[in-house]
Structure 1
């Protein structure tokens, strides 16, 4: 049979063969990955960040209930020494995005983020949650106020809740980047750039100039920086390990 092989322990038994390239492409969207062991874990945040509500099946999503166990595994696995976060997201659920950002920020291991294509809306806090952040020359980030979907009750309590949610996002971004609160609010409430909305889209070097992202670069620069941070982390751990021994 095409997908079965004979088991060496039991010659008469048939065991499933490793998945073919075609199966990998169909199920995972990738060919056979490189099998070399790595001390860096790559986490991708793509499409729309899905939170408490399931999105339509045709949407490309990042499900936060899938991301959180990966972050826990990164923290617990001694073989993993650093985390690379690659973002190309339009944003999504605010609470789910903040949950991911808070977990990344609390990791004890070095973290580097790389914005490719876009890191919009709630993707901004995730991008700045890493210890060091990069953005590609042509990548963009959209900063705008929080929006509500579905039925909204037009009472003061609704607007107060929205304001508190916005304050959580603003405070996190300001605390984990070099942008000032005044500049971030100015970009967020800009009325002259978007035809149907308020906010600002910053591209590549502008994000660095505002202090939102640390540096312009791609995969090579991100991996080099993460390797340097891992080496520094090893040197810090070495004296403590010698004392314990």
Structure 2
């Protein structure tokens, strides 16, 4: 028996190697040996840093790639074990079309969704935040609303400005449809001068975002999860009633 145990220690199995590697990665990335693992009926999706679209950002930028996010949304929608999704936002914004694509997919999910803005939900992060069924914002979190801009070389022809205007209208229309703010008020926040240095736009903090009708409620992670669980329970009950009828 002792020889067998010694052989097992000197010749580790592939499973043992995998476990050791995972522990090493956890120590390296998270500074801890045990990573909390919990099988949950709620899927957590993060939109962190800059929303990366058709252009690849420099390696030092913290980014959320839309080609990674879209398959996650599809998988959450199809997975029978997932009953709801929470979207955590702390983003500076980014690619407008990529952000709108993510927002449209969240808005068209059949399962309950809740978003929470922590830190910041700026620029194209605004449509992503309001795309959920119910949106939350932390008291200290901020949201920057400003006109659509292009970076880099822009050819100053009327077609360029027309394209920007149409893209801007898409953003405004989406936000209006998925929040309690009207088009007139949202445009006023977007084109306000004086709030942002050498720029136009508005920076709203926590409670102000709710007052404007942009976000539904002020709250943290516990409030967001409580609301999501309530929505999941309500959906189950309505499904059972339909089956009984």
TM-score by length of 2: 0.91
Structure 2: gaps of 5 or more residues: 1-5
Distance 1:13 1:20, change over 3 A: closer
Q: Which residue of 1 aligns with 2:13?
A: 14
Q: Which residue of 1 aligns with 2:173?
A: 171
Superposed CA offset, 1:93-118 (max 9, x none): 00000000000000000000000000
Quote how far apart the aligned CAs of 1:30 are. Answer: 7.9
Aligned with residue 230 of structure 1, among 229, 232, 241: 232
Structure 1 segment 48-67 matched on structure 2, within 5 A: 48-67=50-69
Structure 1 segment 101-140 matched on structure 2, within 5 A: 101-140=103-142
Distance 1:32 1:57, change over 3 A: farther
Output the CA distance in 2 between the equivalents of 1:41 and 1:30: 23
Q: Which residue of 1 aligns with 2:149?
A: 147
Structure 1 segment 15-34 matched on structure 2, within 5 A: 15=14, 16-18=17-19, 19-24=21-26, 26=28, 32-34=34-36
Output the CA distance in 1 between the equivalents of 2:118 and 2:32: 18
Superposed CA offset, 1:130-168 (max 9, x none): 000000000000000011012111111111000000000
Quote how far apart the aligned CAs of 1:212 are. Answer: 0.1
Q: Which residue of 2 aligns with 1:3?
A: none
Structure 1 residue runs of 4+, over 4 Å off? 27-32
TM-score by length of 1: 0.91
Identify the structure with the greater helix proportion: 2
Quote how far apart the aligned CAs of 1:22 are. Answer: 3.9
Structure 1: gaps of 5 or more residues: 1-5
Quote how far apart the aligned CAs of 1:204 are. Answer: 0.3
Q: How many residues align?
A: 236
Superposed CA offset, 1:14-35 (max 9, x none): 3033234441354578864322
Deviates more, 1:193-202 or 1:120-129: 193-202
Structure possessing the higher radius of gyration over alpha carbons: 2
Q: Which residue of 1 aligns with 2:3?
A: none
CA RMSD, aligned part only? 2.1
Q: Per the alignment, in what secondary structure is the counterpart of residue 81 of structure 2?
A: coil
